[in-house]
A and B are shown apart, each in its own frame.
Chain A
């Protein structure tokens, strides 16, 4: 197919051709970036928590009758929950992944620092790591004799000084001591060092208020909490038993203390789904925008294509009369669309890159991966070809006899 005659024809339709090019360019730029945003959201939704999510349920219960006997009540609660058939492990903890409510602290590597090195979250609770199903990759978990009552720490300086060990995540270790073995290294929350005795593969913080990069900055302390200072019961069970265990756990907790408020009871899958609901909604919206954009662009190509065919009926007739086959007329329109789409795509790539730069500046988004460009180009070429096919076929169907009629 000869391209030069097509170009010279297009020169006579500058504005319409330009519009088509612009439309394709804008669509290309926006769709590339929107798809990238969607993939970012989907990636975020896959964020690893480090806990055995499909086996966990949580009941958040609040308010025990009289203060003072919270410790005894807690043991009673835990015993009752452990007795529910199918429950493998139970813990009362101060915070739970993906619940947006967290206890955090700045930590220092040197007690003389004026600014904390970073801010990490603190998990407390006897049996917490075992129940969460967190994977230990170095060192050890706490021995049961290492746990101290959280209340006692707040009351008594001497008890606080006894706490010397902490378990951290691999991610936190890498951040604090890049390339080194964190085991045995000290961190400071106040003036007293606590040493890393164990490293877990991952344990996400409950709230990502400092950004997703800090998601794995978690520490676990050997503090025993009671219902006076913590409210989240976590139970581990087989995935199939979750709903039954959840209902039974809430019933047990209500039985052991009828005045209790059950704030929430959820499986971990639901907790995760709730945490990422904004991301899911935004991904859905962006997907809708992408589809709508592609449809509008395709319709635009169909509309202009039809117009051009109608305008050139006579020319087509003449060409047919002079011996052009149907196939060559079809190819003419397809090549024309391909040329316009190519210019549009080239322009669109530049624009896509610009929009990405803007988003990188204002939304701290990563750079658009290079493979988006060829994929986007191929997608738009295909859409262009499909959209122009209808008008082109109509053009090919123009009989040669048209040439003889109205001239």
Chain B
């Protein structure tokens, strides 16, 4: 029976080509727009550490002398608090993070000096965030303690400087210091670059910078302090300029701490530990707000920072409104199409076709249009994503259509067209056999 309906649908589609093309186009354009924006949204709002994000936490304390306007702790920690918490080693894994830009040269490589984005972190960073290494290894906790002059570099930088060869053992000159490369990352592109996310709630939806590539050079935390001195990216300072001479003691927040806690008991324990630390610092007179602590997990932290750019959200809403209009259009056209065939349907009904059969046949035809529309929509989605990739945004290189979204394109198209075909098919199945026969 289905085969017969399919045949009828094909014939019917061929009969009025203009109307068919119009409907297929309407669905294709609507699907193309919504799937393009939905794909971008899907890529940007995903979990950057699937399977592990629930065990990663971002503790916060409030070292400031006056509360912030929204009474949240600042988005990063001062050096002292971060290092204190890290040194306690109370979590399963813990990594300090601070970033900077340093002038960089590679001796023996014929390239002008350039500015390298440097992440200053600790050895747990690599296993904790499952960072893949192509060559060599990450540094060890001993290197953290001894402030060894070693570095891990990104796959991009390795390609730029060494043409992708195994560069372990080679030297980089950072500012005035030589460091030895001990590891080279395999291509690694978390989305967003979650460990650097902070301050998103102040950026009014302009958060595309959270999707930039990982840093070029990774240095042990202490080593980076020695090399960069005061030149770290600071989240914010308070108090007067006087204190800025030494970032390590300055009234500034610029260090982040990430911890991995593998079960609920440890999470509760760590929460208590952070609260106790802050309370103790208040007793010591270093903190004013000893009770203002927080600890969000990775996804909560991303959510708190509204990582998905406001423009992307707006585009999704727009695209779906657009799809809705295209569907309205399709409903109207399908209605026109089915009712125009009232005569034919009347004959079929008179010859014994049940209402259900007519209804099913109309839906098959609608689904067929949806399938064709989905095909067009898929091509338009590819075009749309190609356009997004050409935009000068940080996430441009992440944008692609994965298998799931490819399937979703067709499912959405067919569902949409079936929905659009529902009322017209119902109307068509109600055609009274006798009335139509009379006029033939």
Contact = CB atoms under 8 A, between A and B. Distances in A.
B66 to A, nearest CB: 5
A153 interface: yes
Given A22-B328, A26-B328, A303-B19, A191 B240 contact: yes
B311 A19 contact: no
Interface stretch (B79-87, B145-153, B188-196, B241-249): B241-249
A154 to B, nearest CB: 6
B114 A261 contact: yes
A59 B81 CA distance: 38
Given A189-B240, A259-B113, A209 B324 contact: no
Interface string A135-163: 00000000000000000011001001000
B10 interface: no
A263 interface: yes
B329 A299 contact: yes
B325 A363 contact: no
B39 to A, nearest CB: 15
B270 interface: no
Given A289-B322, A292-B33, A307-B336, A15 B328 contact: no
Interface in B166-205: 199, 202-205
B9 interface: no
Q: Which of B321, B328, B333, B427 has the most CB of A within 10 A?
A: B328
Nearest to B30: A296
A304 interface: yes
A263 B115 contact: yes
Contacts of A285: 315
A277 B394 CA distance: 12
A115 interface: yes
A209 B241 contact: no
Given A160-B241, A261-B112, A278-B206, A304 B336 contact: yes
A23 B332 contact: yes
Contacts of A106: 238
Contact of A304 (B33, B205, B242, B332): B332
Nearest to A114: B66
Contacts of B66: 114-115
Nearest to B321: A30
Interface in A94-118: 106, 114-115
Nearest to B239: A190
Contacts of A307: 333, 336-337, 339-340
A311 B340 CA distance: 7
A115 B244 CA distance: 20
Interface in B217-248: 238-242, 244-245
A161 to B, nearest CB: 12
B318 interface: yes
A298 to B, nearest CB: 10
A62 interface: yes
Contact of A209 (B25, B115, B203, B208): B203
Given A154-B241, A261-B115, A289-B33, A300 B314 contact: no
A350 B421 CA distance: 28
B363 interface: no
B22 interface: yes
B414 interface: no
Secondary structure of the A contact surface, majority rule: helix
A131 interface: no
Interface string A274-303: 000110011001100100110011011001
A235 to B, nearest CB: 22
Interface string A156-193: 01001000000000000000000000000000011100
B103 A63 contact: yes
A406 B113 CA distance: 87
B3 interface: no
B298 interface: no
Contacts of B25: 299
A20 B202 CA distance: 43
B280 interface: no
B328 A289 contact: no
A292 B29 contact: yes
A292 to B, nearest CB: 6
B404 interface: no
A284 to B, nearest CB: 10
Q: Which of A37, A209, A263, A299 has the most CB of B within 10 A?
A: A299
A286 B65 CA distance: 45
A22 B327 CA distance: 11
Nearest to A66: B176
B333 A304 contact: yes
Interface string A32-46: 001001000000000
Contacts of B29: 292, 296
Contacts of A153: 241
A323 to B, nearest CB: 25
B318 to A, nearest CB: 6
A47 interface: no
Contacts of B311: 278, 282
A27 interface: yes
Nearest to B209: A100
Interface string A12-27: 0001100110110011
B335 interface: yes
Contact of B328 (A34, A263, A278, A300): A300
A340 to B, nearest CB: 11
B239 to A, nearest CB: 8
Given A30-B318, A261-B115, 6 more contacts: A15-B423, A114-B65, A154-B241, A296-B26, A296-B29, A303-B336
Interface of B: 19, 22, 25-26, 29, 33, 65-66, 69, 103, 112-115, 199, 202-206, 208, 238-242, 244-245, 310-311, 314-315, 318-319, 321-322, 324-326, 328-329, 331-333, 335-337, 339-340, 391-393, 423, 427, 439
Interface of A: 15-16, 19-20, 22-23, 26-27, 30, 34, 37, 62-63, 106, 114-115, 153-154, 157, 160, 189-191, 209-211, 259, 261, 263, 277-278, 281-282, 285-286, 289, 292-293, 296-297, 299-300, 303-304, 306-308, 310-311, 363-364, 406
The 9 closest A-B pairs by CB, nearest first: A190-B240, A307-B336, A300-B329, A19-B332, A23-B328, A63-B103, A114-B66, A303-B333, A26-B325
14 contacts: A19-B328, A19-B335, A23-B329, A30-B321, A30-B322, A157-B242, A190-B242, A191-B240, A211-B204, A261-B112, A261-B113, A300-B329, A303-B332, A307-B333
